[in-house]
Copies of this chain bind each other. A is one copy, B any other.
Amino acid sequence: MTHARHDMALEKRLISRAVEMALDEDLGQTGDITTAATIPEGARATAVFQARKAGIIAGLEVAEAAFHALDPAVVFEALVHDGATVPPAANLARVSGNARALLSAERVALNFLCHMSGIATQTGRFVEAVRGTPARIVDTRKTTPGLRAFEKYAVRCGGGSNHRSGLFDAILIKDNHIVAAGGLAAAIDAARAHAGHTVKIEVEVTSLAELAEALAHPVDAVLLDNMTPDQLRDAVRLVAGRVVTEASGGVTLETVRRIAETGVDVISVGALTHSAPILDIGLDFEIR
């Protein structure tokens, strides 16, 4: 099931820039002074990435890129693919080459891989919880600054889907926009006039009354904000398939199934990206 997700690969150019930025942070201008002092220049090593716990993997190409940024001759062999669900102690990849490059890039590789796999794993839990319902689990814009594309990719690896990428690629009219525009109708009209024909318009509503008003206008989706399962069920009935329905607001693993069973199309969960603990992955070395 996760297979369909990772056909939308992460671009190599993005990966390369993110890895450079992370290496800059860790190496500064002076570099890895421990390794420079203690590891002979010609030493070789092999190391294996191992999941210490069960989870879903995301970020293997990023980990690979961290090593290649320091030494293009490093050999990185993925043993699973992004999106794979793995048991504890699963070997994920083997990397071998210049020992200095391996040791100096280790932490950057792990920081990406553990963070992204943590998000994929967290997403997988939510996806699993709604299995059998029509609901898609989607992310939000509550992402870690600088890593949005990586986190949205990890959500896909975990079986989730992506909400809009940012403020620029879809219109989402919220309460403040409605107030400022002078009402729901005025806001939607303005959005229609303004938006190109390839831009979808979604409107946030907090009650059935607002929902009914929104449906009187040409919108593509409605965000049902902080509604109870009963309200959501009524909303889905009222919408009757005319537009996409999205449930949102404080969704947890405990509540997500009941929400999904209301028949909403999409459930957005900030906690996929803003509060996922890492997946514990280690890198075990053999130095020669």
| Residues of chain A having any CB pair with chain B under 8 Å | 4, 7-14, 18, 20-23, 25-41, 43, 45, 69-70, 99, 103-104, 107-108, 110-112, 114-115, 118, 136, 138, 141-149, 152, 161-174, 176-181, 187, 190-191, 193-200, 202, 220-221, 244, 246, 265-266, 271, 274-275, 277-278, 285, 287
Contact = CB atoms under 8 A, between A and B. Distances in A.
25 contacts: A7-B41, A8-B37, A9-B41, A13-B23, A13-B69, A18-B145, A22-B146, A25-B148, A26-B148, A26-B167, A30-B149, A33-B199, A37-B171, A37-B193, A37-B195, A38-B173, A104-B167, A112-B145, A142-B278, A145-B146, A163-B196, A170-B198, A170-B199, A198-B202, A199-B200
Contact of A197 (B8, B37, B161, B195): B161
B145 A25 contact: yes
Given A146-B145, A196-B161, A181 B33 contact: no
A36 B165 contact: no
Contact of A198 (B11, B18, B200): B200
Nearest to A162: B196
A50 B99 CA distance: 34
Contact of A191 (B25, B37, B118, B278): B37
B147 A181 contact: no
Nearest to A193: B4
Contacts of A28: 28-29, 165-169
A277 to B, nearest CB: 4
